Amino acid sequence: MEICDPDENNIICLPPIYTLEKIPVSQEDIPRNDDFRSRPHLQCIDLPAFNVDIGLMIGNNVPQTMEPWELINSQKEGGPFALTKLGWIVYGPTEDLRKHR
């Protein structure tokens, strides 16, 4: 199996994968641009909007998906943010960001 960024420019081959009947996350867990607007240091982040079901969870056995190319350090609340080969990673729970909007 292969995964890619939304523009299909960067492709990563996955190792053997495992399946679950249901992944315990929902669309509420997907970070959105509105989650970052109150944080001046995050204004440069522009996340694509997705209206999709979550069907894949990538673990730390695929480290190239999490390799930071650009990093934004945390400021007070919330974790750091990293731009990777596949897009932005939000470290930490998004509900912390939503509480402080």
CA separation for the pair 57, 17 (Å, rounded): 10
Instruction: Assign 33 a pLDDT band (cuts: 50, 70, 90).
Output: confident
Taking the domains of the chain in order of start, what are their residue ranges?
2-99
63-92 pLDDT per residue, tens: 999 999 998 887 776 667 889 999 888 877
H-helix or E-strand spanning residue 96? helix 94-99
The mean of the pLDDT values for the chain is 83
Task: Report d(CA 91, CA 85) in Å as an integer.
Answer: 16
- Who's near 73: CB < 8 A, 6+ residues apart? 41, 80
Beta bridge partners of 82: 71, 89
pTM above 0.85, yes or no: no
pLDDT of residue 46: 82
Q: Give the pLDDT score at 34.
A: 83
